[in-house]
Chains A and B, each alone.
Chain A
């Protein structure tokens, strides 16, 4: 009888132990980070102007036919200022094309910023109303999407890309898509 009862009175400790394990693994992760809903899907269709030339429009068709990075940035975004020099450096070092998506920004400010700090982008799309940003599920710049040659999104990184992130996150993912793009020697 007592044995049977101890099975029942042990239920709380079993449930509690499971809870503690879940809590322990939750501790490290950042609860504010959101997974992207666009992984494995095409970059949404768009028709937006060239940042450098308001008369010219870019669409889905203009995206590179090989793997590339789509970097969402703005001059009002403080962390983007931290990220920018790294992007300029990596754009010079590696043959990976980077497309800029200037998100909800003032065109003149953005152009002036690129003139001063250098322009790492193959071309820049001006998303003044943030429509493409919302279609991509952007919630905080800077965000960088890794896209393959068919326009399918493979990964999203939220936050500043620095040396560490570039080497541990971006390069391995791009390498999976096209090893030749991460080969520094080939271009030098």
Chain B
């Protein structure tokens, strides 16, 4: 079984070693850019952790083909991502949607930073320098918390 797993992992990395190079034609440059943008934001559903742009798996080929068809048919990025999400779920979206399950992901860093900012400004902001001794005056409500 171990050997088998190893063989699989080797096969998977073999796929990753092969760059995917295809030559699709597009009507204009915007379409081509949109195509590259979309395929580099979609995760290959069966690979380890690769975009469908980087993956050589046959499913990725199929999905790239669909994206290309849809781009040429004039569909928007949102429509195409939606199409993929309907079939394979949020898993395929490398750009996680802003929805309740992802609120921690999107908002917690900023909230943490703002808390730090507020605490520092409140605690340190009132400190002044004593013009005579040159020492820092705390002016805190908790005046017992002086420096050593």
- Contact-residue size bin, chain A (C-beta under 8 Å from the other chain): 10 to 19
Within 8 A of A (CB), among B56-80: 58-59, 62-63, 66
User: A139-B45, A139-B46, A140-B46 in contact; A35/B62 too (CB < 8 A)?
Assistant: no
User: A134-B66, A139-B46 in contact; A104/B86 too (CB < 8 A)?
Assistant: no
User: Of the candidates B45, B58, B87, B89, which one forms a contact with A135 in the assembled complex, judged by CB atoms under 8 Å apart?
Assistant: B87
Binding site of B, secondary structure by majority: helix, strand, loop or mixed? helix
- Contact-residue size bin, chain B (C-beta under 8 Å from the other chain): 10 to 19
Which residues of B are found within 8 Å of A130, using beta-carbon distances? 62
Q: Is A14 an interface residue (CB 8 A)?
A: no
Within 8 A of B (CB), among A127-175: 130, 134-137, 139-140
Which residues of A are found within 8 Å of B144, using beta-carbon distances? 1
User: A139-B45, A140-B46 in contact; A37/B86 too (CB < 8 A)?
Assistant: yes
Binding site of A, secondary structure by majority: helix, strand, loop or mixed? loop
User: A104-B58, A134-B63 in contact; A35/B87 too (CB < 8 A)?
Assistant: no
**Are the CB atoms of A34 and B91 closer together than 8 Å?**
yes
Which residues of B are found within 8 Å of A135, using beta-carbon distances? 87
